[in-house]
A = this chain, B = another copy of it.
Amino acid sequence: MKEKEFINIIKNTLGSEHIGDDCAYLRDLGIVISQDSLVEDVHFKKDFCTPFQLGYKSVMVNISDICASGAKPVYLTISLSLPNDIDADFVKEFYQGAKSACNPHTLDEGVRIVGGDITSADKIYISVCAIGDAKGRNISSRKNAKEGYKVVVSGLHGSSCAGLKLLMQGKSEPEKFIKVHLQPQAQVEFGNQAGLNIKSPYAMMDTSDGLMDALSTIANESGVLLEVDFNKIPYDKDLEQFDSWQDMVLFGGEDYGLVAVVPQDYNYGTQVGVAKQGLGVDLNIDGKTIHYSKQDVENKIFNHFD
């Protein structure tokens, strides 16, 4: 887990309370900020996607981070580094995709791309910074889950992982899974509703690194046990044709769904479990209960440094 080791070094060196969450909440400015990068041959392969899809996804994964905070995504900057053989059409299509992702149908005013830079590099590097407006909103924290709260989720889980598997196998069907992988949809309305309507502290995270990663992180950061029923987790039934489809639902990344642990009286999203005294995740699946400690989950999830 080199990535987590590095993050600990960064936390210790900076002594900042912000590092570790996907978004930093800057109370004095009334904003949240997030920055995420996509690197060629680490996060994507050029052969698997069009420039449009790459621009689209780069923006959407950052909008997803803002949505996970409960803030309203409003502005983006994009830093794009490109090999010298990339032409003007690539740049145009990339930004058409980026712009398209800025206008999800559920977000009335859309998000605006206001800056960044462009430079050369050996491979394609994309780093996007997103700003969310936090004014008048209740901003989530991974530390805010409490015993007695319920666990709610949005989106379908495992589809993006299925799409990636199909791409790696050179397959093009079922296309819906590939589309979810290449052009994911941030859960804008779920995040919006939470930020506007939940009155107490609550926890929320996106499932960029998988559903179980989000559940485990919230559980361990908050010091609670999340008991989750696999049967209640929304997924596309066509996933069942894949080997290890249950692992795809639980550990597959890049669905950009949201997981929230919220007070019982908040009614939005699909309830999949409850928060109890204890630590980690208890998963009820196939008539058994499996306990996942923080380490169990970290051992299973995909790590870009491994």
Contacts and interface: CB of A to CB of B under 8 A. Distances in A.
Interface in A27-82: 28-31, 33-37, 39, 41-43, 74-75, 77-79, 81
Interface in A83-99: 84, 88, 91-92, 95-96, 98-99
Nearest to A134: B29
Contact of A42 (B16, B75, B115, B119): B119
Interface in A9-36: 9-10, 13-14, 16, 18-19, 21-24, 26, 28-31, 33-36
Interface string A93-114: 0011011000000000000111
A40 to B, nearest CB: 8
Interface string A118-159: 111111010101010100000000000000000000000000
Chain A contact patch, size range:
35 or more
Given A7-B118, A115-B24, A37 B79 contact: yes
Interface in A230-254: none
A195 to B, nearest CB: 16
A157 to B, nearest CB: 22
Nearest 3 pairs of A and B residues by beta carbon: A127-B127, A129-B129, A24-B114
